[in-house]
Chains A and B, each alone.
Chain A
Amino acid sequence: MPHRHSRLREAFTAALLALEDDVHRLGRAAGEAIHRAVDAFRRRDVADAEAVVAGDSLIDAMRLTIEQRAVELLATQQPVAGDLRWLASVLVIATDLERLADHGEAIARATRRVPATLPATVALLGQMEALVQGMLDQTLEAWRRRDAERALTVVPLEETVDALRAQVFQELIAQPGAPPLAMDLVLEHLIVAQHLERAADHITNVAERVIYIATGELRELNP
């Protein structure tokens, strides 16, 4: 139950529910940016990548609107307890989700520069991206339900993302006997892996806020 309904404070509850939808939309838009960016990288589709870059300003604007509405509700409704934890967390979550989209934009920019793609590495990047999407789905659902248990399910997923990033690094750097790869090729693939790892970190931050909303406990899931 995201927000307790009662016959009192109906307008405030409605405003919280509308804001919850806004945050959900922001999360979905950020996930979409990551997905389209990785897909464009895989296909070296510069036009698609440019669309991701162009779309980022819309995501920035969504975040600013959410922040403004949250601050207005803090100022005018003086929330406490669960409402306070929820609204204070919205400020943090919106920032993390916007950063998530920024990593999509950065991956799109790498697509402009990469001279070719390495199928084996791109496959690993695809796995990383699928895990990131899984983390995002779980986290957004946990956030809607105020479900700390569900939020905790991102922890093993994030560890797998980290392990895959290490694997990408090994594939690109340490292949004894093989002819060295061009530096820009290596670098751009590594950059994508790095941004996917950071994307997973931001989702974990959101999951931490969900746990705070649900339990009042502030804890670091990724120490």
Chain B
Amino acid sequence: MGQALDLKPRPEVAHRRLPPTEPVLRIEDLRVCYGARPAVQGVTLDIPARRVTAIIGPSGCGKSTLIRSLNRMNDLIPGARVEGRVWFHGQDIYAPEVDPTAVRMRIGMVFQKPNPFPKSIYENVAFGLRLHRRLSRRELDERVERALRQAALWDEVADVLHTASGLALSGGQQQRLCIARALAVEPEVLLMDEPCSALDPAATARIEDLIRQLCQEYTIIIVTHNMQQAARISDVTAFMLGGMLVETGPTADLFTHPQDPRTEDYISGRFG
């Protein structure tokens, strides 16, 4: 019977069964404390290249702390202490000789609330480029356009690049502008912390489509409270509870037959 059916992956669900790739980030026994309070307690996890990895779990489970540890954003929080290793292409990003700014160039971040600067759309995207590189005006223009196209925003803002403020855009457009700003410095990994929680369903759908497109070139790690969103867009899902990793696996498996009853209770809304 099976042979009579076309069993090729259907486009709309093809990403569910993409073959595994080499890990681009290897998290090894990561522990993060804020003062005396442990937030992440020994997480070991490989992040596959050019795939979307979703990190889910209840509030306070340590998922945002984990994602912030991956580009040393926790360095900026007083009292935060990080132990363990985060390997990025064989280099521990917490090694003393590593410059955290250089890490953040390669591993970018998009936050929960869109945070454009009160500058023109062009300057918002060019901001990081100007900080780190000396580029000619033409090169800068090209990089800004490329980032805005990658973020699926170009067609909506091309005419007002220099005249409209980033703050004048809609919420969904602002978040795509922030994605363009992160992409402009050509990172390899994009960390997204609840990127759609402030957006309406249509704007959310645009960002989700964009994430699927971007993962052809970038490795994406997304923290989300929205279980359906994790199920829709990720290839791999990791479930955290109490600062620990409970279960990780291909998203389609985790959402149809999770192995750990705590995962089952959480994703089916019976946690607590």
What is A's interface to B at a CB cutoff of 8 Å? 4, 6-9, 12, 78-85, 215-216
From residue B260, how far is it (CB to closest CB) to chain A in Å?
11
What CA separation (Å) do A8 and B268 show in the bound complex?
A: 10
Query: Main secondary structure on chain B at its contact with chain A?
Result: helix
- In contact, A81 and B269 (Cβ under 8 angstroms): no
What CA separation (Å) do A81 and B265 show in the bound complex?
A: 9
What CA separation (Å) do A215 and B269 show in the bound complex?
A: 20
Of B228, B256, B272, which one neighbours A81 at CB under 8 angstroms? B256
- In contact, B264 and A82 (Cβ under 8 angstroms): yes
Contacts of B268 in A (CB 8 A): 4, 9, 79-83
Query: Main secondary structure on chain A at its contact with chain B?
Result: loop
Instruction: Give the one of B227, B265, B269, B272 with max A CB within 10 A.
Output: B269
Contacts of A85 in B (CB 8 A): 256-257
Q: Which residue of A lies closest to B261 (CB)?
A: A4
Contacts of A9 in B (CB 8 A): 268-270
27 CB contacts below 8 A, A to B, read A4-B264, A4-B270, A6-B270, A6-B271, A6-B272, A8-B269, A8-B270, A8-B272, A9-B269, A9-B270, A12-B269, A78-B228, A79-B268, A80-B231, A80-B255, A81-B255, A81-B258, A81-B263, A81-B264, A81-B267, A81-B268, A82-B264, A83-B268, A85-B257, A215-B257, A216-B256, A216-B257
Other 17 A-B pairs with CB < 8 A, given A8-B271, A81-B268? A4-B264, A6-B270, A6-B271, A7-B272, A8-B270, A8-B272, A9-B270, A78-B228, A80-B227, A80-B255, A80-B267, A81-B263, A81-B264, A82-B264, A85-B257, A215-B257, A216-B257
